[in-house]
Each structure stands twice: as C-alpha cells, then as structure tokens.
A = this chain, B = another copy of it.
C-alpha cells in the first residue's frame, strides 16, 4: 500500500538510523582518537576514491536527465566537488587533508593503493546510478540526510584527538556542512514527489539501503585491512612503505 508522504519520509530516515555508517565501529575509533596515524592515512587514501568518484556518479545521473532544469539543479553537486573559479572544491580540500596527515597528495590522487573492496563498492554505486531509474539514483543520494551529524562529530573528534586537525585540513567537512543540506533538501523533496506508488517507494527505500551498504562495506574493508588483526590485501597501501609524503611514481 502506498505510504503517505510523511510515513515514507519516516521510513527513509529509519533506514539511516539503522544502517548509516556513523554506526560503524571504525568511526568510533576515528572520532574518538583511537586510530593510529596509519589507520587515519588508510582511511584518507580509501575515502579519496569515493570522493573522486562522486562527480562521475553525478555526471552519470545528468547524462540520463532530459530536463535541463533538473540538470542545472544537479550540476552544483559536481561544482562542489570538482571546484569552480571561486571554490577550490571538495576534492582539493580532501587532498589538503591527505597532506596534513603526512601523505603525498599526488600519491593519494593516483588512487594507487586503494583497497579493491573500496573500488568495488564505489564503482557499484556509479554503475547503480548509470543503470537504475532516476528515482533510485536520487534516493541513493539521500544518505546525505544523515551526513551533517557525522561531519559535525568528525570535526569535533578529530580536532580534539589529532595534531593534524585544524581549519585547513578539515575544511572539506566544514564545507560539506554547508553544501549537503541544500542538496538533500532538493533530493528528499524530489523523491517524496516522485515515489507516488508503493512499488516506487519500495524501490527508493531499497536504493537507500543499497547506498548504506556501499558506505558500510568501505569501512569493513578498511577495518579488515588496517585494524588488528589486520590483513592488508596484495597491492593495497602498506604503511611501512614509508609514511611521510610518499611519492607517486
């Protein structure tokens, strides 16, 4: 049976309450100061792959949108990440974080050393947006509903617990606190407007669950590789390869 708008919104928010990656133990470690420097670095390296793929995901979405007004609305997401003449963009901000934790930003930008499981999860998200309905693609983006809380916790936790944390190195998160709310307000309204049958509501909810899986599995992979008992898979970043400012070859 089709849910009312508010019932359906509550259902989407409940998915976040049960499955968003703020619940993952790795985030407790990270925000609580329990990560060592290499674990922070591994997180920065792997999360970069997600960052660098998000504009590709948003372009894949736009490539399927016939309506110029919807494309225009969506384009600001790419601008937020890739940057504009007046905004360095989230990807450059993430590379400043990489430098602050002692990594060569060129090495991080090369995406060498990223865990295969990170690639699989992130690439699955890009492919999902390329192949599923527009409704499912927008619904998958609604994990941003839950992002402001984790970003605020992260800023507070990192500032308190790590020497590298300052206004410059954390500028990515501070900017996301400003950017994400406008995106998600649009995306949530669009999903609530367009999921007008029970079937579409189920599809949108499943898409949001899929996206929480994409985020969660990245932290599982990170933990398995870099948290004791750690087993780093072949080819992934090795802390003892040299910690500071690894050079991309």
Contact = CB atoms under 8 A, between A and B. Distances in A.
A84 to B, nearest CB: 8
A108 to B, nearest CB: 12
Contact of A75 (B52, B68, B78): B78
Contacts of A187: none
A59 interface: yes
A12 interface: no
A49 to B, nearest CB: 10
B68 A83 contact: yes
A82 B92 CA distance: 26
A126 B63 contact: yes
A82 B72 contact: yes
A111 B57 contact: no
Interface in A92-130: 92, 111, 126, 130
A130 B127 CA distance: 12
A207 interface: no
Interface in A45-84: 52, 55-57, 59-66, 68, 71-72, 75, 78-79, 81-83
A160 B130 CA distance: 46
Contact of A71 (B59, B111, B126): B59
A82 B78 contact: no
A63 B63 contact: yes
A16 to B, nearest CB: 26
Contacts of A55: 62, 68, 71
A181 interface: no
Contacts of A57: 63
Nearest to A126: B63
Among A52, A68, A71, the most chain B Cβ lie within 10 Å of the Cβ of: A68
A148 interface: no
B66 A52 contact: yes
A140 interface: no
A78 B71 contact: yes
Contact of A68 (B52, B60, B64, B71): B52
B66 A62 contact: no
A248 to B, nearest CB: 14
16 contacts: A52-B66, A55-B62, A56-B62, A56-B64, A56-B65, A56-B71, A57-B63, A59-B61, A59-B71, A62-B63, A63-B126, A63-B130, A68-B83, A68-B89, A72-B83, A75-B78
